[in-house]
Chain A
């Protein structure tokens, strides 16, 4: 059973199109993330959701709209795709902090979704 699964694994599309990537985790975690990995392998956080609420939006263009219908799912919709959006997008989850505490921050990653915009 895959802990964090994202679909599709590969996505090739034309500039200007709209596309979505879906992510699901079965670890019972309450925090989910989207990370973008560019061609130089640099990993940058895009969004964090805790208990379905947006916690971090790391100056991502508003063409990117995450949605968390429940704690186990975090989807990413991208409008009007641009060439610079080509990257690998990783979904991840972690267990949030216990009451009054700090979580360990260990991330469990999906396999990544490689988006190519032509």
Chain B
């Protein structure tokens, strides 16, 4: 069975704090892709990052960084020095082929000024 778990339903931080959003996935496939999407209050879904199962290198993009660990089946997302504009719902997702992407339940992040 394939599953994505985002255990944190809501997180609230004060601006400039660092915050980590957790994602744990389950799959028996050896080839798969992991994603993070952002859904700001305006409602659209914005692609942030894709990682394939063979590439465990961590990635940094500005204030965003991602930590992929196959040993713990986790793909965590860290925002450094959070800003109010980071307030959104963040979704972790898993794709193993078969034209079906499984999404986690989302983590709602509130960043207070």
Contacts and interface: CB of A to CB of B under 8 A. Distances in A.
Contact of A50 (B43, B99, B105): B99
B97 interface: yes
Contact of A112 (B43, B106, B108): B43
A42 B6 CA distance: 11
Interface in B87-102: 89, 91, 93, 95, 97-102
Contacts of A90: 45
Nearest to A90: B45
A41 B39 contact: yes
A109 B102 CA distance: 15
A97 B97 CA distance: 8
A118 interface: no
A56 B99 contact: yes
A106 B45 CA distance: 12
Contacts of A44: 103
Nearest to A49: B99
Interface in A58-73: 58
B35 A112 contact: no
Interface of A: 31, 33, 40-45, 48, 50, 55-56, 58, 88, 90, 92, 96-97, 102-109, 111-112, 114
